[in-house]
A and B are shown apart, each in its own frame.
Chain A
Amino acid sequence: MTNLIVEVTKYLMIFLFALYTYEGFSALRGKLSDRKKRGIYHRQLLLMYLLHLSAYLAVYAVTDDIRTVLFYLFQVLFTVIVMSCYHLLYENGSRLLVNHMCTLLLIGFIILTRLSFEDAVRQYVIAVGAFVLTLPVPYLVRSVGFMRRLTWLYAAAGIIGLVMVQLFGATSYGAKLSLKVAGISFQPSEFIKLIFVFFVAGMLYEKTDFIRVCAATAVAAAHVLILVLCRDLGGALIFFITYVVMLYVATKKIFYFAGGLLSGSIAAVVAYNLFSHVQIRVLAWRDPLSVIDNEGYQISQSLFAIGTGGWFGMGLYQGMPNRIPVVKEDFIFSAISEELGGIFALCLLMVCMGCFFLFLNMAMQMKDQFYKLIALGLGVVYGFQVFLTVGGVTRFIPSTGVTLPLVSYGGSSLLASMMMFAIVQGLYVMRQDEGNADGTKNKKSQAKQKRKSGKTGFDDKVEKIS
C-alpha cells in the first residue's frame, strides 16, 4: 500500500508541477485580461496545494509519523497567511511572485522533511520569522526616500561585514562563510549581496562619469577580493557578475561589460594557477569519477543521484539523497531530481527562471533609475545564484557551493532570499503608483513605453489584484 501511494503521488506530483509551471509561464506571456490572470493564479494555488498534499501523503505513508501531518497543516496555514497578508497589505504587488515564493518554500519543506524532519521544522520556524521580518519591507521600500543617499554606508557595511567573516569566521567545507553571534551562526555574505546591490545602484543612478565608475569598481573589487580570500568562490562570482551587469545597464557602454568579463576571465585563470582549491574544483568538474575518493566524491554522488533518479525519480524516501555531502544546502537540487524526478527538477528550474524574469521585468518597467538598478541587481543576484547552484550540481559548470534560494536549508539564505522577494514586491507596488501617476500626466509616453516593453515578450501591464 505504501508503495502504491509513493508511486501514484510521484507521477501525480510531476504532472501537477508541470501544469503549475505551464500556468506560471502563460501568466508571463502578457496580453491577458485581469480576469484570465486571476484564473491562472487560482489554478496555480490549487495545483500547488494538491502537489503539497500529494507529497505529504507519501511522507506520511512512509514514515507513519503523525508529526508530519501536523507539520503539513502548519505549512498550509503559513502559506495561507503569507498570501493573505500580501493580498491585503499590498494589493498592487505581484501575485505571481508570491505564488512562486510559496511554491518554492513548500518544495523546500517537502524535500527537507524527507532529508531530516528536525531540520525541516527548523527551516519552517526560520521561514515564519523571516516572513514577519520581511512583511513591512515592501512598505518601507515605497515610503523611505533616503535609501538612495546611504551609498557609502552600504559600502562600509558590506566590506566590514566581509572582513569580520574573514577574521572571525568559521571554516566549513574549505570556505569561511559564517559568523557566530550570541550562539546563532549566520552568513553575512547572504545579506551583503543585497546591500551591495543598493550600493551599486546608489553609486550609478545619477551619474556614470569615469570617476564614479572607478570608485564603484574599487569597492566592488574589494568585495570580490575578500570573498576570494575567504575561499567563497560562488559568492565572489555572484558579486562580480552582478556588478558587471549593473555597470553595463547603468552606463549602456558595452566596453565596460566586455572589459569586466575580460578582466574576470583573467582573474579566473590567475586564481586557477594560484589556488589549489580552485584546481581541485576544476579537476572534480572535468572528471569526477577519476578522483571519486576525494575531490570528486560530492559531485559524483550528486550525479549518481540525478542519473539514477532519471526523468521520473525514485519516489520520496526511495532514493539515497543523504549520501551526497551537504545535500540540504548546496545539493538540494540533486536530492529533488533523484526522488521527485528529472522532469520535476526541470520544472523547478523553470519556476526559478520565472521569478528571475519577474525581477528583470520590473527592472525594465521602473522609470526611476535607482529602483531600476535595484531590481536589475537583485534579479541578477537571484538568477545567477540559481544558475550556479543548478549548474554546479549537474556538472554543467564547476561546483561553487551556493544555495538554491528559498529551497535550500539555511537561515541566512532563506531570510536573505525572502528579503529579496519582498524588496521586489515593494518595487511592484511602487511601479503601480508610478503607473497611476503617469496615467494622469502623460498617456502618450506610457503608450510608447508599452510598445517598447511589449517587444521584450513580457507583460508590460502590472498585474492587478481585484
Chain B
Amino acid sequence: MVTYTFLAAFLCLMGYFTYFQFVQSEPFINNPYNKRQELFTQKVIRGEIYSADGVTLAETIVDAEGNETRVYPCARIFSHIVGYTGHGTAGIEATANFSLLRSNIFYGEKVVSDLQGEKSPGDSVYTTLNYELQLQAFDALGHYDGAVVVLEPATGRVLAMVSKPDFDPNTIAEDWEELVDETNDRSELLNRATQGRYPPGSTFKILTTLQYLREHPEDYEAYRFSCGGEYQEGHKTIHCYNNVRHGDEDLKKAFANSCNSAYASLGLGLDLTAFHAMCESMLFNTDLPVSIESSKSSFVLEEGAQTSAVMETSIGQGQTLVTPLHMALITCAVANDGVLRAPYVVDHVADDRGVTVEQYTGKEYGRLLSSEEAAVLKEYMGYVIEEGTGRQLSSDRYEVYGKTGSAEFSTSSKASHSWFTGFAHQDGKPDIVVTVIVEDSGVGSEYAVPIAQEIFEAYYNTDE
C-alpha cells in the first residue's frame, strides 16, 4: 500500500509537470519579469502583429546583412496599444512578447534550423483591433489630448484604443531622450486609456445611481427633487452646470439632466460603507482584469467623511479617480446585462504558415450588477440620449445609451475634461461600448459626444 500511495503521488506529480508544460507555462514564460525572453531573440525573428481586418501593425524587416528592424506601418495610430520594443517593451509588444518570439514551425524544422544556427520565423499575433475604428477614433480625437476606448461588451474584445499625445514607435530609439526628458510634461509614453487617472465627473453618476438603486430597490421611482440650480448643505454649495434650474425631477430625469444638485443631495443619504464596498466591487482600488499595463482607479470616500466630500464624490468630483478603460468596463457590464467580460486584445496566434496555434476567446470576469439593475441603468442611459445631455447622439438606425460628463480637474480654473461613456445597439451587429475623454476641453456634450458619434457612425456604416 505504501508503494502504491507513493506511486500515485509520483504519477500525480508527473501529470502535473506535463500539464504545466503544456497548459500552464504560458503566463510564466510571458511574464515581463522573465528575462529569458531575451534569449529567444537570438534564435527567432520576431513575428508580426495584425489588426482583426488584416492590416499589418508591426513587422520585422531583415536586410541583406541580416540586420533586423522593427517597423510599424501605422506609426502613431496604434502607438500605445501595439506598443514598441527595443527600449524596453510596451503594449502588445510586451504582453505578447513570448508569442512573437516563439516559433511554432514543426519541431523537425526547428531542430534543423537550430542545428544550422539559423533563425526561425516567430509566430504572428492577430489582434482584436479594428483598423477602421482605430483610425476613426484617432482622427476624431484630433489634436486634443485624451483617450478613446472601444470594446465589444458581449465578448470583451478591444476594438480600438487611442491615447494622445502619442509617439512614433518607428523612431522610438531616436526620440527616446526627448520622450523621457524630465522637462517633458506631456507623458507621450503613458497609455492614457489604461493608465491615465481622471476625475470621472458626471459619468460617475452611473455608480451613485446604482448605489441608490441598491438602497431603494422598491421605491427608487418615487424619488423626487426640486432643482433650483444649486444645492447647499453646511458651507458647501454644489452648482448645476451653468446654474441651470432643472425644476422637478425624478431619478431618471435627474440622471438625464446630469443634475448636480439632485445627486449632491441624494448622495448625502447614502450608506457610505456600502457605497465604498459597491465601488470596490465595481473594480475601484483594484487591478483591472487586463494584460496590458493599467492603473488602479481610486475611490476613497468612507463612513465619517465630511459633508462636502460626500456631495462632491456623489457627482464625480472630489478625490475619485478613474481610468477610461475602467469607465468602459463599467459601461460594458451595464450593456451586457450586468456581467463583465475581461477585455482582451489578442485574438489568436498563428505560426509562419498561418496555422492557428493559440486561440483566445476571453474570459468572464463575473457579474458586477444584477440584470434588473443593469436594465434600470440602461433605461436611464437611454433617456440621456432621448431627453438629456446626449440628445445629439440619437440615431434612427441604432439605439444609443450613455452618460456625459465634464470633470473639473483644477480648483483654480474652470477648465474641465470632457467625458462620454456609452454603448449602442443595432440588431444583427454586436453592441459596442465607446468611452471618450478629451482633456482640458469643456463639457462632454460639446467635445466627447461628437467623437463618440463618429465612432458609432463608422461602426454601423460598415457592411459586414
Tell me the A residues contacting B by CB distance below 8 Å: 3-4, 7-8, 11, 245, 248-249, 289, 292, 300, 303-308, 310-311, 314, 318-320, 323, 342, 345-346, 349-350, 353, 356-357, 360, 376, 380, 383-384, 387, 390-391, 394-396, 456
Q: Check A303 against B35 for contact (C-beta < 8 Å).
A: no
Which of B1-9, B329-337, B442-450 lies at the interface with chain A? B1-9
Which of B24-32, B216-224, B269-277, B391-399 lies at the interface with chain A? B24-32
Q: Check B33 against A304 for contact (C-beta < 8 Å).
A: yes
Identity of the chain B residue whose Cβ is nearest the Cβ of A288 in the assembled complex: B28
Q: Check A300 against B115 for contact (C-beta < 8 Å).
A: no
Give bound CA distance, A396 to B19, whole Å. 11
Q: Nearest chain B CB to A247's CB is how many angstroms away? A: 12
Task: Tell me the dominant secondary structure on chain B's binding face.
Answer: helix
Q: Check B31 against A456 for contact (C-beta < 8 Å).
A: no
5 contacts between A and B (CB under 8 A): A292-B31, A292-B33, A306-B21, A308-B29, A320-B39
Contact partners of A349 in chain B: CB under 8 A? 10, 13-14, 17
Give bound CA distance, A193 to B216, whole Å. 66
Give bound CA distance, A394 to B28, whole Å. 12
Q: Check A380 against B21 for contact (C-beta < 8 Å).
A: no
* Extra inter-chain contacts (7) besides given A300-B33, A360-B2, A376-B2, CB under 8 Å: A7-B114, A245-B2, A307-B25, A307-B28, A308-B34, A314-B39, A380-B2
Contact partners of B10 in chain A: CB under 8 A? 349, 353, 356, 383, 387
Task: Tell me the dominant secondary structure on chain A's binding face.
Answer: helix
Contact partners of B36 in chain A: CB under 8 A? 304-305, 308, 314, 319-320
Q: Check A300 against B28 for contact (C-beta < 8 Å).
A: yes
Q: Check B33 against A345 for contact (C-beta < 8 Å).
A: no
Identity of the chain A residue whose Cβ is nearest the Cβ of B26 in the assembled complex: A307
Give bound CA distance, A342 to B17, whole Å. 8
Identity of the chain B residue whose Cβ is nearest the Cβ of A353 in the assembled complex: B10
Give bound CA distance, A305 to B31, whole Å. 12
Q: Nearest chain B CB to A325's CB is how many angstroms away? A: 14
Q: Nearest chain B CB to A364's CB is how many angstroms away? A: 8
Give bound CA distance, A56 to B172, whole Å. 44
Within B109-138, the residues touching A (CB, 8 Å) are: 111, 114-115, 117
Q: Check A307 against B35 for contact (C-beta < 8 Å).
A: no
5 A-B pairs closest in CB distance: A307-B25, A304-B34, A308-B36, A307-B28, A303-B28
Q: Verify if B20 is at the interface (C-beta below 8 Å from A).
A: yes
Contact partners of B114 in chain A: CB under 8 A? 3, 7
Give bound CA distance, A376 to B26, whole Å. 40
Give bound CA distance, A11 to B9, whole Å. 29
Q: Check A394 against B13 for contact (C-beta < 8 Å).
A: yes
Contact partners of B115 in chain A: CB under 8 A? 4, 7-8
Contact partners of B33 in chain A: CB under 8 A? 292, 300, 304
Q: Check A307 against B111 for contact (C-beta < 8 Å).
A: no
Which of B6, B20, B37 sits near A383, CB closer than 8 Å?
B6
Q: Check B39 against A394 for contact (C-beta < 8 Å).
A: no
Give bound CA distance, A311 to B33, whole Å. 21
Identity of the chain A residue whose Cβ is nearest the Cβ of B287 in the assembled complex: A290
Q: Check B21 against A311 for contact (C-beta < 8 Å).
A: yes
Q: Nearest chain B CB to A454's CB is how many angstroms away? A: 14
Q: Check B27 against A387 for contact (C-beta < 8 Å).
A: no
Contact partners of B29 in chain A: CB under 8 A? 304, 307-308
Known: A304-B34, A307-B28, A319-B39. A3 touches B20 (CB 8 A): no
Q: Check A306 against B13 for contact (C-beta < 8 Å).
A: no
Q: Verify if B360 is at the interface (C-beta below 8 Å from A).
A: no
Q: Check B20 against A306 for contact (C-beta < 8 Å).
A: yes
Give bound CA distance, A218 to B382, whole Å. 74
Identity of the chain A residue whose Cβ is nearest the Cβ of B25 in the assembled complex: A307
Q: Verify if B16 is at the interface (C-beta below 8 Å from A).
A: yes
Contact partners of A300 in chain B: CB under 8 A? 28, 31, 33
Contact partners of B3 in chain A: CB under 8 A? 357, 360, 456
Q: Check A394 against B2 for contact (C-beta < 8 Å).
A: no
Identity of the chain A residue whose Cβ is nearest the Cβ of B115 in the assembled complex: A7
Known: A376-B2, A380-B2, A394-B13. A304 touches B31 (CB 8 A): yes
Identity of the chain A residue whose Cβ is nearest the Cβ of B32 in the assembled complex: A292
Within B266-309, the residues touching A (CB, 8 Å) are: none
Give bound CA distance, A169 to B210, whole Å. 60
Contact partners of A310 in chain B: CB under 8 A? 21, 25
Contact partners of B24 in chain A: CB under 8 A? 307
Give bound CA distance, A305 to B114, whole Å. 20
Q: Check A306 against B25 for contact (C-beta < 8 Å).
A: yes
Q: Check B34 against A394 for contact (C-beta < 8 Å).
A: no
Give bound CA distance, A346 to B117, whole Å. 27
Contact partners of A353 in chain B: CB under 8 A? 7, 10
Known: A387-B9, A387-B10. A346 touches B17 (CB 8 A): yes
Q: Check B35 against A320 for contact (C-beta < 8 Å).
A: yes
Give bound CA distance, A383 to B29, whole Å. 30
Give bound CA distance, A376 to B2, whole Å. 9
Q: Check B16 against A396 for contact (C-beta < 8 Å).
A: yes
Q: Check B17 against A303 for contact (C-beta < 8 Å).
A: no
Identity of the chain A residue whose Cβ is nearest the Cβ of B24 in the assembled complex: A307
Contact partners of B37 in chain A: CB under 8 A? 308
Contact partners of B13 in chain A: CB under 8 A? 349, 387, 390-391, 394, 396
Q: Check A304 against B28 for contact (C-beta < 8 Å).
A: yes
Q: Check B14 against A346 for contact (C-beta < 8 Å).
A: yes
Q: Check A394 against B20 for contact (C-beta < 8 Å).
A: yes
Q: Check A4 against B117 for contact (C-beta < 8 Å).
A: yes
Q: Nearest chain B CB to A222's CB is how many angstroms away? A: 24
Identity of the chain A residue whose Cβ is nearest the Cβ of B3 in the assembled complex: A360
Give bound CA distance, A357 to B2, whole Å. 11
Identity of the chain A residue whose Cβ is nearest the Cβ of B5 in the assembled complex: A245
Which of B18, B25, B31 sits near A289, CB closer than 8 Å?
B31
Q: Check B20 against A249 for contact (C-beta < 8 Å).
A: no
Contact partners of A305 in chain B: CB under 8 A? 36
Contact partners of A396 in chain B: CB under 8 A? 12-13, 16-17
Identity of the chain B residue whose Cβ is nearest the Cβ of A6 in the assembled complex: B114
Q: Nearest chain A CB to B104's CB is how many angstroms away? A: 12
Contact partners of A249 in chain B: CB under 8 A? 2
Give bound CA distance, A384 to B28, whole Å. 27
Q: Check B35 against A394 for contact (C-beta < 8 Å).
A: no
Q: Nearest chain A CB to B155's CB is how many angstroms away? A: 25
Q: Check A289 against B28 for contact (C-beta < 8 Å).
A: yes
